[in-house]
């Protein structure tokens, strides 16, 4: 990215006031080329739809899922001090936090040109901080651009109509010229990491649905108090809640970037998540194309992953839950993982710090596997009571039609960045 080719609005974005971004955050839905066909807000734009430029798109996607150098780790846990806590699954940090550094989500997005995934979940730090502890925005953006993978040509196959989108979104969502960011979380991996976390903190699962302990758990009473339990439903709902925060904060980070750039858009959950993942049941509405399964005992289809892109830590993408546990341990302790001594880091003695964490030994892995395989065998999927792949929140970005806001609103409906966006970012268009 060459500085002499950047639009003037880029520099304005760098000096944008955080408080203005917080107080000025609004859902601004009416874009150039949009139409509300009826009702009190009936209005048809006189402007032609204008897609985001490549720079604008990368800035928004970067804000939702970019790498921010190294994860700094959790420093101490009383149960196994002085060893470094080994909860995290990723060595790199991103623009949003993740419970205990699990980082199980990936960022997908679509526009008129295609559907993409940002391969950033296990990315190393994109650069080291400068002497003044600052990070280069140019390098940050270049890193994101280099990690974008195109999955298909053309906009995502998900019509802006009921039942695929909520009734109040049919006029605006996923329309030509818009950018739709879609963070997807791997709840199978997140739940597996929480079972590891439990065992590290002296807990095992209890089947509160069938009212019984996990068969065979007594064999591990030498490493854990098998009477100290958390219910399966609680652990899976906890995992769901933690992942919801991860996905929501990702979109909120993008939302703040929209204010700084002067773009319209908003966070929403008014798109059917099953159709988005690919489980609409209609071959013409393929969504992201994830594999899914059905069962008479489940209320909804269960998506488990997209082959070669985002495969769940559960069957059918893994042979069984033992293989899933081994894959998880490889992510944590293998090459590039947060607890591998050869993985670089932000510390003066990074190898010493990373290697101070205990590697999950065979007994530990066997105990985790027993519990995870039990859930899969009893419920037919993993996790048992919540989806394997999960999404809840989206971010749409587009160019505002200011005439709509001037027509209906008093002054103050949009920020100065919105008022000046076309002049500052598209002077040559």
Q: pLDDT (tens digit, 9 = 90+) per residue, 300-319?
A: 999 999 999 999 999 999 99
Burial of 366 (0-12, 13-18, 19+ CB in 10 A): middle
CA distance 404 to 423: 18
* pLDDT tens digits along 332-361: 999 999 999 999 999 999 999 999 999 999
Instruction: List CB contacts of 423: < 8 A, sequence separation 6 or more.
Output: none
Q: What percent of the chain has pLDDT over 70?
A: 97
Q: Is residue 137's pLDDT more than 60?
A: yes
Rounded to the nearest 10 degrees, the angle between the axes of helix 321-333 and helix 362-379 is 140
Q: Is the dihedral of CA 166, 171, 172, 176 positive or negative?
A: positive
How high is the pLDDT of residue 96?
96
CA distance 285 to 304: 18
CA distance 246 to 104: 9
* pLDDT tens digits along 171-226: 999 999 999 999 999 999 999 999 999 999 999 999 999 999 999 999 999 999 99
CA distance 189 to 178: 31
Which fold does the domain 3-425 belong to in CATH? NADH Oxidase (3.40.109)
The SS3 call for residue 399 is coil
How high is the pLDDT of residue 5?
80
Q: Is residue 240's pLDDT more than 80?
A: yes
Instruction: Provide the 8-state DSSP code for 113.
Output: T
Closest CA to 262 of 130, 402, 80: 402
* pLDDT tens digits along 50-84: 999 999 999 999 999 999 999 999 999 998 899 99
CA distance 329 to 282: 37
Mean pLDDT of 145-170: 96
**How large is the greatest C-alpha to C-alpha distance in the chain, in angstroms?**
73
Mean pLDDT of 35-62: 97
Q: Is the dihedral of CA 118, 119, 122, 125 positive or negative?
A: negative
Mean pLDDT of 269-280: 96
Query: How far, CA to CA in Å, does 128 sit from each of 120, 132, 401?
Result: 17, 11, 40
């Amino acid at each position: 990215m060459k500085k002499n080719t950047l639009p003037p609005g880029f520099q304005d974005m760098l000096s944008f006031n955080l408080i203005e971004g917080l107080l000025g955050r609004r859902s601004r839905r009416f874009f150039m080329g949009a139409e509300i066909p009826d009702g009190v807000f009936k209005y048809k734009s006189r402007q032609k739809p204008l897609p985001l430029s490549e720079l604008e798109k990368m800035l928004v996607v970067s804000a939702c899922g970019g790498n921010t150098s190294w994860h700094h780790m959790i420093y101490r846990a009383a149960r196994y001090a002085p060893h470094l806590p080994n909860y995290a699954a990723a060595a790199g940090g991103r623009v949003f936090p993740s419970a205990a550094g699990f980082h199980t989500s990936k960022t997908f997005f679509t526009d008129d040109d295609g559907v993409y995934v940002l391969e950033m979940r296990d990315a190393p730090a994109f650069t080291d901080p400068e002497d003044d502890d600052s990070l280069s925005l140019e390098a940050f953006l270049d890193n994101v651009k280099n990690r974008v993978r195109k999955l298909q040509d053309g906009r995502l196959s998900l019509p802006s109509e009921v039942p695929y989108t909520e009734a109040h979104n049919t006029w605006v969502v996923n329309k030509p010229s818009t950018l739709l960011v879609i963070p997807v979380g791997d709840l199978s991996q997140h739940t597996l990491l929480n079972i590891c976390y439990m065992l590290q903190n002296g807990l095992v699962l209890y089947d509160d649905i069938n009212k019984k302990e996990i068969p065979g758990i007594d064999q591990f009473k030498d490493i854990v108090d098998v009477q100290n339990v958390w219910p399966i439903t609680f652990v899976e709902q906890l995992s769901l809640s933690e992942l919801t925060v991860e996905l929501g904060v990702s979109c909120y980070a993008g939302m703040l970037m929209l204010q700084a750039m002067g773009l319209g858009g908003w966070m929403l959950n008014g798109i059917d998540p099953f159709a988005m993942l690919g489980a609409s049941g209609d071959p013409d509405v393929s969504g992201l194309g994830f594999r899914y399964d059905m069962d008479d005992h489940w209320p909804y289809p269960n998506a488990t992953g997209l082959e070669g892109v985002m495969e769940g830590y559960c069957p059918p993408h893994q042979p069984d839950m033992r293989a899933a546990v081994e894959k998880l341990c490889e992510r944590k302790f293998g090459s590039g993982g947060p607890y591998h001594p050869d993985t670089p880091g932000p510390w003066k003695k990074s190898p010493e710090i990373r290697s101070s964490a205990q590697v999950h030994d065979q007994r530990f892995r066997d105990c985790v596997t027993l519990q995870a395989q039990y859930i899969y065998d009893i419920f037919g999927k993993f996790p048992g009571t919540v989806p394997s792949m999960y999404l809840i929140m989206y971010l749409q970005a587009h160019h505002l039609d200011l005439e709509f806001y001037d027509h209906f609103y008093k002054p103050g409906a949009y920020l100065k960045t919105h008022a000046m966006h076309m002049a500052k970012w598209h002077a040559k268009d």
